Amino acid sequence: MDIKHHKLEHLPPSEDITPDLKSLTSAHHALGEIKGRITRDVINPSLIIAPLLTKEAVASSKIEGTQTTVEEVLKYEAEEPKKEDSDIREVVNYRKAIQESIEFLEKKPLGEHLIRNLHATLMASVRGKEKDLGNFRRMAVHLGPPDSSAEEAEYVPPKPNEITDLMKNWVEFVHDKEMDPLIQAGIAHYQFEAIHPFMDGNGRIGRLLIPILLYAKDVIPYPYLYISDFFEQNRKHYYDALRGVDRDRDWDSWISFFLYGVKETSEQMQDKVVKMYRLYGRLKEELVDLNSQYSQLLLDLLFEKPIISSKEILKQLDQPSRQTVYNLVDKFETQEIIYEITGNKRNKVYAFRELLGIIK
């Protein structure tokens, strides 16, 4: 039986896309608010962004069936020796891919080379690692329930010999400077998922490209629009809206959903960031009473790594003596800023629970 592959049109879409002006304005406003909050208020943006990025990586992987939590990821990274865990490795790879994209975009524009690199990084040592890392697929695929046939598929992506041309068009489209960048990001996300250029990992790469695209276009100062949590919480609506473009070229419904996601994500991020700033400010004042010149360094370290081993603390605070560090850690524990979570006499691991509560 001849399988009918989806015939994708080149971008930009031939249809007029007319999102509700209020939705577009609200999304831009919410994104601007979080941008202002981070660039205006933060002493070191990485203190705020690092823990939120872990949550985004967990949410994006969860959509694909990965079962892990923020705490499990952070604990895994803190503990030694590490037992290899494919689910956790996916999350760690996602964060690594974001960092690599920042470094790449300092030298070259967003394009096919970066996308291939992101795929190779994201899929290294995880499920699907055997599926041609960094290379576009050379086989026909279909999307549907497990073990379903191509005839029963919900969607059959374009043929492999069409991918190079479609991705070339995708890159040309995202470099167009005439279109509103949020609408452009929504269109680009749909098109990437519809092309389905890789054998595996397309969903994760497609979601990863949303903040990277907006960062590359200077809409945000860091790739921090962590929208996967919104997609995961509204998974059915997310897939229905994408399929609506497949079936009916219903761009307006998809773009409206996407813009609402941008607004909701930005507002939720702002709420978390405000709480994190307040926590940081309060603890910074309280730590004055500890009379340690290293207390501020340890506080900053805990924001970057809310679950951390005593070994890592010693490594990072490499100026004082070991005993000075142990005494400082004891003071943080006495103040109930951190809690030991292993029960070990040696190789202890500490959790910054108040911050973890905000992240979750």
82 or 285: which leads in pLDDT? 285
Q: Is 192 helix (H, G, I), strand (E, B) or coil?
A: helix
What mean pLDDT is predicted for residues 230-248? 94
What mean pLDDT is predicted for residues 9-28? 92
Q: What is the fold, at CATH topology level, of the domain defined by 21-271?
A: Fic-like fold (1.10.3290)
H-run or E-run covering 340: strand 339-340
User: What's the pLDDT score for residue 142?
Assistant: 79
* Range in 34-43, 311-320, 336-345 with the lowest mean pLDDT: 34-43
- Taking 50 as the threshold, does the pLDDT of residue 281 lie above it? yes
Q: What is the fold, at CATH topology level, of the domain defined by 291-359?
A: Arc Repressor Mutant, subunit A (1.10.10)
Provide the 10 A C-beta neighbour count for residue 235. 12
* Highest averaged pLDDT of the listed ranges 86-100, 113-127, 259-273: 259-273
- Taking 90 as the threshold, does the pLDDT of residue 166 lie above it? yes
Provide the 10 A C-beta neighbour count for residue 163. 19
User: What's the pLDDT score for residue 190?
Assistant: 98
Domain boundaries of the chain, sorted by first residue: 21-271, 291-359
Rg (CA), the chain: 22
* Structure confidence by residue, pLDDT tens digits, 250-280: 999 999 999 999 999 999 989 998 899 899 9
User: What's the pLDDT score for residue 88?
Assistant: 87
Residues whose CB falls within 8 Å of the CB of residue 46, separated by 6 or more in sequence, listed in order = 304
- Taking 60 as the threshold, does the pLDDT of residue 2 lie above it? no
What mean pLDDT is predicted for residues 131-151? 79
Could you report how far apart the first and last alpha carbons of the chain are, in Å? 48
Residue 196: pLDDT band with limits 50, 70, 90 = very high
User: What's the pLDDT score for residue 258?
Assistant: 98
Residue 290: pLDDT band with limits 50, 70, 90 = confident
User: What's the pLDDT score for residue 181?
Assistant: 96
Mean pLDDT over the full length of the chain: 88
User: What's the pLDDT score for residue 81?
Assistant: 65
- Taking 50 as the threshold, does the pLDDT of residue 19 lie above it? yes
Please provide the DSSP assignment of 211-233 as one string.
HHHHHHTTSSSSS----HHHHHH
* Highest averaged pLDDT of the listed ranges 61-70, 219-228, 276-285, 340-349: 276-285
What mean pLDDT is predicted for residues 143-165? 81
Residue 1: pLDDT band with limits 50, 70, 90 = very low
How many Å apart are CA 93 and CA 113, to the nearest integer?
A: 18
- Taking 70 as the threshold, does the pLDDT of residue 65 lie above it? yes
